[in-house]
Each structure stands twice: as structure tokens, then as C-alpha cells.
Amino acid sequence: MKSEVLIKMGYPEWLIDKFSAFFLEIFENEDELESFFERVFKFDSEKKEPRRILNQIQQLISIADDIEVIRPARDPLRILFLRSYLAVISKLADLSNKEAGNFLNEYMCDEGKEHIKENFRLIFMEPVDQLEQDEWLSFEEKKSLLQFNLDNSAELFRSIRNDVVHDGNYYEMQIWARDKNSTWFSHCESNECIIGSLWRKNEFGMVTFHFETTMSYEKIRYFF
């Protein structure tokens, strides 16, 4: 079924097919999708913000999807386009004053937040003095500090994006699990405050963060 809304808004047939296939993944049926288009384009102003937001969502997330074909197992490139998508829709929706962590906290569903919390964990940091400065903390308290939350994820994504853009490092960090039955280990180096509760300025400059992940790209893509 061709979307009557998109036809009325002047979309060419090839783009209607592409949009319908892309957004239908989010909805249970075509009637729900058509109702979504009606609500979006009801507010299509002279500046065409709703239209531009839909265009950018489809384009940038589709590029992130295609990375696995163009450059397999290059998770930072996917992060680059997901972060770009967040920045673009924030600006178009006049939310540019929001930090990414606040944006995700406000607009990501609870199921998405829980998926990140349960499937992406910080397990160790180097130099170890980052933790040893808090020797008076119990094991459970230190474990609690290592708990990765949505704000930390947003900071990590920002750091990875910066590595890609500024240093050309698009190959080192692994974010997504490669299968559903294994835990994957990864690490990254940063001198940025990825995890505020653990941050201490130290003489070594760079801190290496070690992670384990069972996180699914397909689920994060959906929750984004």
C-alpha cells in the first residue's frame, strides 16, 4: 500500500517505498504507519522541520546499518552516524541545548535504558589508581561505581565519535556483541570524563577502560 500522506506531500514513488520499508519496522502494520505520517506532517511548517527530521532519521540510520556491509565490525563508524543522527534531530527539533545524555534519558524508552544497563558493563580501568584512590569503599560499593548508566553511554559514544573524526580511529572499539550467545570484551583509551563518578585527574593522562558487552546493535537501533 502506497502512503497517501507521502504522495500528498510530494514524495517520489521510489522514496515512498524506501520510507515505508524503513519506518514500518517500528509499527505493527501499515495503518499505524500511515497514522504516524499524518501526525508528523500535520505540523509540517514552512521550514519543513518534520519532513527534514524524517529524512535525516532514515538516511543516517540507514548508513549506520550499511556499515556492516561496507566495513564489517567497525562499530565506531556506526556510532559516528548514530551520534550524528542525535545531533541533527536535536537541532531540528530545537533541542540543541540538551546534552546527549539528557536527551537519551528523556526520550529513550525504559526498555532501551535497561538493555544498555544490563548488556554493557565496565569491568576494569587502568591505571588502577583510578579505583585505588577509593580504597575505603567496599567491594559492593566499587561494583556499584562501575555500573554503566545512560549518561556514561552517551559520554562513551561521544568519545568514540571524537576518535573517529579527529584521530581516524574507527577500528579499535567494539560496542556490539557479534552473536547472541557470547560475551565480548573490548577497551578504549580516553583522557575524557567518560564516567563522572570514577573520574580522577591523574599523572598518566590517558585512562584505559575495559568493557564486556552482550549489547545488540539491532535493539539499540530500534530504541534510538
Burial of 222 (0-12, 13-18, 19+ CB in 10 A): middle
* Distance separating alpha carbons of residues 155 and 106, to the nearest angstrom: 16
Q: Round to whole Å and give the CA distance between 197 and 27.
A: 38
Neighbours of 132 (CB within 10 A): 9
Give the least confident one: 14-28, 58-72, 90-104, 142-156: 90-104
pLDDT at 100: 56
Q: Is the pLDDT of residue 29 over 50?
A: yes
For strands 120-126 and 184-190, give the pairing: unpaired
Contacts of 12 (CB under 8 A, 6+ apart): none
Which of the four pLDDT bands, split at 50, 70 and 90, describes residue 142? low
Q: Give the DSSP letter of residue 101.
A: H
Give the mean model confidence (pLDDT) for residues 127-147.
54
Q: Is residue 189 a contact partner of residue 84, using CB atoms and an 8 Å limit?
A: no
pLDDT at 118: 86
pLDDT-derived band of residue 139, with 50, 70 and 90 as boundaries? very low
CB-based contacts of 122, cutoff 8 Å, min separation 6: 146, 147, 148, 152, 195, 209, 210, 211
Q: Which residue has better confidence, 95 or 180?
A: 180
With a cut of 80, say whether residue 220 has pLDDT above it. Answer: yes
The stretch 113-123 carries a mean pLDDT of: 85
CA distance 155 to 201: 17
How close are the terminal C-alpha atoms of the chain, in Å? Answer: 26
Mean pLDDT of 79-87: 88
SS3 9: coil
The neighbouring-strand residues paired with 210 are: 124, 187
Cell 566499587 locates to: 142
pTM: 0.79
Residue 38, pLDDT > 50, answer yes
How is the beta sheet containing 184-190 ordered, strand by strand?
120-126, 207-213, 184-190
Q: Determine contact, residues 9/51, Cβ cutoff 8 Å.
A: yes
pLDDT tier at 79, thresholds 50, 70, 90: very high
pLDDT at 82 over 70: yes
Which three three-digit cell numbers place residue 156? Answer: 562513551
Q: For residues 106 and 33, which has the higher predicted lDDT (pLDDT)?
A: 33
Give the pLDDT confidence score for residue 135 in this predicted structure: 52
Higher-pLDDT residue of 35 and 97 is 35
The per-residue pLDDT for 203 is 53
